Chains A and B, each alone.
Chain A
Amino acid sequence: DGGITQSPKYLFRKEGQNVTLSCEQNLNHDAMYWYRQDPGQGLRLIYYSQIVNDFQKGDIAEGYSVSREKKESFPLTVTSAQKNPTAFYLCASKADRLFREQFFGPGTRLTVL
């Protein structure tokens, strides 16, 4: 089955710790995205990558970092510099930079204790 997987589904972190969220896709898509969702705020773009070894900041990149070493993988690290990291994180992909529709993974809920 083709799709996007995110792990873990739930993640708990102590303040001051970095944590990495996994996102893998087997759709052979070039472009991948990370969004953050807070209650009542909709989805906000953190980072995106249109091709391997390249990525750009989205609207709320501060306190986050990413890498894109493989086409199928786009991990997101939430660093200790992120002031309020508790949120629901969604990964998405689309075929290429010109394509319009994005496909989403099941999400990771991060809670900072």
Chain B
Amino acid sequence: AQKVTQAQTEISVVEKEDVTLDCVYETRDTTYYLFWYKQPPSGELVFLIRRNSFDEQNEISGRYSWNFQKSTSSFNFTITASQVVDSAVYFCALSAYSGAGSYQLTFGKGTKLSVIP
């Protein structure tokens, strides 16, 4: 069975501070994918990034960066110089084989980020 843990329920930071959102996962599969989604107050989940289990290179996209470490089963997300528009709920998710020839997403419970002006 797959499991994703986001230990931080809520985080508040002052604008321009850096913030890291933690994600720890569990799976027996050797091939799997990890995702981060952003859910702004409007409700729709917005895809941010996908990483596969064979690619441990860190990735940077503008103010966003991701640190994938298989040794600790973690896939952490850092926002540099946070802005008010970053305020949202962020979900980490794992895609692994779930039987019957299909792959399902297992979500963490989310981390609510509030960026205070």
Q: List residues of A whose CB falls within 8 A of some B CB.
A: 31, 40-43, 45, 48, 50, 56, 88, 90, 92, 97-107, 109
Given contacts A40-B109, A42-B107, A42-B108, whether A50 and B102 have CB atoms under 8 Å apart is yes
Flag if A106 contacts B42 (CB, 8 Å). Answer: yes
Flag if B33 contacts A42 (CB, 8 Å). Answer: no
Flag if A100 contacts B109 (CB, 8 Å). Answer: no
Minimum Cβ distance to chain A for residue B78 (Å): 21
- Chain B hits for A42, CB < 8 A: 91, 107-110
Flag if A104 contacts B103 (CB, 8 Å). Answer: no
- Chain A hits for B13, CB < 8 A: none
Contact of A105 among B44, B101, B102, B109 (CB under 8 A): B44
Most chain B CB within a 10 A radius of its CB, from A48, A100, A101: A100
Q: Which residue of A lies closest to B44 (CB)?
A: A106
Contact of B104 among A40, A45, A101 (CB under 8 A): A45
**Interface residues on chain B, size class:** 20 to 34
Flag if A97 contacts B102 (CB, 8 Å). Answer: yes
Given contacts A40-B109, A42-B107, A48-B104, whether A101 and B35 have CB atoms under 8 Å apart is yes
Minimum Cβ distance to chain B for residue A10 (Å): 11
Given contacts A40-B109, A100-B103, A101-B35, whether A107 and B50 have CB atoms under 8 Å apart is no
Minimum Cβ distance to chain B for residue A57 (Å): 12
Q: Chain B 63-81, CB within 8 Å of chain A: the 1/0 string?
A: 0000000000000000000
Given contacts A43-B91, A102-B105, A107-B43, 15 further A-B contacts (CB under 8 A): A41-B109, A42-B91, A42-B107, A43-B105, A45-B104, A88-B43, A98-B101, A100-B33, A101-B33, A101-B95, A104-B37, A104-B44, A104-B45, A106-B44, A109-B43
